[in-house]
Amino acid sequence: MDANNINYNEEVLKGGLIVAGVSILILMVTYVVNVETLVEWWYGLISLAISIGLTIYIGVSFRNTIGGFMSYKNALKFTFLVLTVSYIVGASFNILLYNVIDPTLPELIKQLTVENTISMMENWGAPQETIDASIPEIEKSIDENTSPMGIIKATPWGLLFIFIVAAITSIFVKKNEPVSDRIN
């Protein structure tokens, strides 16, 4: 395909929607199969790894479509924009999930998170006073992170995080044109 015939914005949007779609699909399958998995530490890592792998794949595919070479700067711009689209779609879906699809889910997540935290702190030998003091803070955090305004207020931190992820994925997406040391 000729690089001049490629609509950059369309490719960014398509890539972002693919990453968001896969993330939402994983979330919904997990929600239906075993909602308790959503609060496990490894669930977040697996979801992140899948998103990173998919972003690299989409970036490399785009690079190959435009001629096989892409500078780190252009790779960073592309992957950041793809992840930004994915983030916006994902945040919008989370607002929908927590407030329309299943308004009881935030309460369940709060309960499961508190139970997991208490268990973990007890295993580490934390005093009961420390455990009791941490519970209201955990509950407040879950309430804030699942409310529409809380999700929107988290956007600057989310964008910083995806910039870091984009900076890492761009290392794998970039490919510099070979430089010839031969003088013609």
pTM: 0.87
Alpha-carbon distance 102 to 85, whole Å?
Answer: 24
Question: For position 183, what pLDDT does the model report?
Answer: 67
Spell out the domain ranges in the chain.
3-173
d(C-alpha 154, C-alpha 168), whole Å: 21
Rounded average pLDDT per 10-residue block, the chain, 184 residues: 77 97 96 93 94 97 95 97 97 95 93 88 85 87 89 93 97 89 66
Judged on CB neighbours under 10 Å (0-12, 13-18, 19+), 139 is middle
